[in-house]
Amino acid sequence: MTEPYDAVSVIRTKRDHGRIPDAQIDWVIDAYTRGAVADEQMSALAMAILLNGMAPDELARWTEAMIATGERLDLSGVRLPTTDKHSTGGVGDKITLPLAPLVASLGAAVPQLSGRGLGHTGGTLDKLEAIPGWRANLTNSEFLDQLNSVGAVVCAAGDGLAPADRKLYALRDVTGTVEAIPLIASSIMSKKIAEGSSALVLDVKVGSGAFMKNLADARELAETMVALGTAAGTHTVALLTDMDTPLGRTAGNALEVRESLEVLAGGGPADVVELTVALASEMLAGVGITDVDPAAALADGRAMDTWRRMIAAQGGDPDADLPVAREKHLVAAPATGVLTRLDAYAVGVAAWRLGAGRARKEDAVSAGAGVVLLAKPGEQVTEGQPLFELHADDAGRFDRAIEALDGAVDIGAAGAHTATPLVLGRVTAQR
């Protein structure tokens, strides 16, 4: 087949700060997915985008073209209004686990397509796979049936959603273009828009354990994604949330499931509860449900009931014992005082090295491995008291995890700690 355009012309346009015409955007995404545009050519285009950016309408067209390479889920047969959440990833971020059943228990349907962890950030599917029998892969009909019967589904995205993104993401990973905000935004939003929810809430993490290290970059990403969702007809808002400190008191798969169950039982760490309730309120408001109290649904057991049905519907046993690592090791506080800093990235790397995460997509993870945080910033500690509890199936992993935690904490005098708000900002569509 004779191609209507050539990749070099598209590259030159963006290299020279131009706007790629719509027809050429449609063509280059489709041709790259088909293999008619070579990796080295798309690499050059991705670098030009990183350096020179994209106009809002140009990026919206790019995102639409990525969606068009695959299928769109048709949620018109779902009897409840559909609302979804996406997190840009962090350490101890188990929020999807209590959030999806909580929102479903209050009258919305949550079609949550999630991913696996890579590097220091954990993956929702890895956490749920710690539950005996639970399966991540559902057919489209199973997915839709569960949305109608339970109201919440957390599962793996099928290969049919935005296949261009899978190919382009792998390329960005090896060409130094992962950080391009237009490409991050279109990667996330092409899949989320293709999911077909009528409302979407974005949890954009900021800090050491997040992809975006500073508030300005996080806000730019949030604004870009909110604009893309809005342009596609999806009610989209974003919360900017702190990720300098891990969420909750655990990082690891089964450990985080246990903590999520505490939240669903009306307890759990205050920060996990706060963010779960904040995101639930945004998700529900996005589909017009504003006369409910998410905190009450955690306290009275409604959300737990939905959780149990959601897990059972995907083959899991909600009453089964969760895996426990074979080995434990305690790391002591180096001084007496108030914990003023607990670095999320260091904790994430430690959990990864203990076996909770993976360096490559094909690596296996340990369900029981991870880190328990025995103190959080603002709390008093005494020299020698346990600060971290490390869990691993192989005691040989402890040394490198301890190495990752070296320098992860600061301990100061009483009154030295200033609490950072968990929610740092909110981004809505520009009028």
Q: Supply φ then ψ for residue 63, to 5 degrees.
A: -65, -45
Q: Is 69 contained in some domain? A: no
Same domain assignment for residues 304 and 331? no
Given 289, 319, 349, which residue is the final one in a domain? 319
Same-domain pairing of 271 and 345: no
Neighbours of 270 (CB within 10 A): 11
SS3 111: strand
Same domain, yes or no: 103 and 160: yes
Same domain, 284 and 393: no
The end-to-end CA distance of the chain, in Å, is 44
> What is the token pair recorded at 34?
């088909």
pLDDT over threshold 90, residue 117:
no
Residue 418's pLDDT is: 87
- Asked whether residue 246 falls in the same domain as residue 342, the answer is no
* Residue-wise pLDDT tens digits, 88-111: 999 999 999 999 999 999 999 999
- Let me know the angle formed at the C-alpha of 332 by 326 and 334, rounded to the nearest 5 degrees: 155
Cβ atoms of 340 and 411 within 8 Å: the answer is: yes
Residue 63 lies in a domain: no
Assign residue 365 the CATH number of its domain: 3.90.1170.30
Maximum distance among all alpha carbons in the chain? 72
Number of independent structural domains in the chain: 3
Q: What is the CATH number of the domain that holds 259?
A: 3.40.1030.10
In contact, 106 and 292? CB cutoff 8 Å: yes
Q: What pLDDT score does 210 carry?
A: 95
Q: List helix spans (H) across 69-162.
A: 96-104, 124-128, 140-149
Instruction: Look up the domain containing 12 and give its range.
Output: 7-53
On whether both 391 and 252 belong to a single domain, the answer is no
Catalytic residues: 86, 165, 172, 187, 191
Closest to 374 measured CA to CA, from 251, 273, 282, 257:
251
Q: How far is 6 from 378, CA to CA, in rounded Å?
A: 58
How big is the chain by its Cα radius of gyration, in Å?
Answer: 22
Q: For residue 377, name the pLDDT band (cuts at 50, 70, 90).
A: very high
pTM for the complete prediction?
0.95
Q: What is the 3-state secondary structure (H, E, C) of 370-393?
A: EEEECCCCCCEECCCCEEEEEEEC
The CATH number of the domain holding residue 34 is 1.20.970.10
Let me know whether 93 and 239 are in one domain: yes
- Going by DSSP bridges, is the β-strand pair 337-342/409-412 parallel, antiparallel, or unpaired? antiparallel
Confidence of residue 115 (pLDDT cuts 50, 70, 90): confident
Token pair of 429 as six digits: 């569509």
What pLDDT digit, counting tens, does each position of 129-187 carry? 999 999 999 999 999 999 999 999 999 988 888 999 989 988 998 899 988 999 999 99
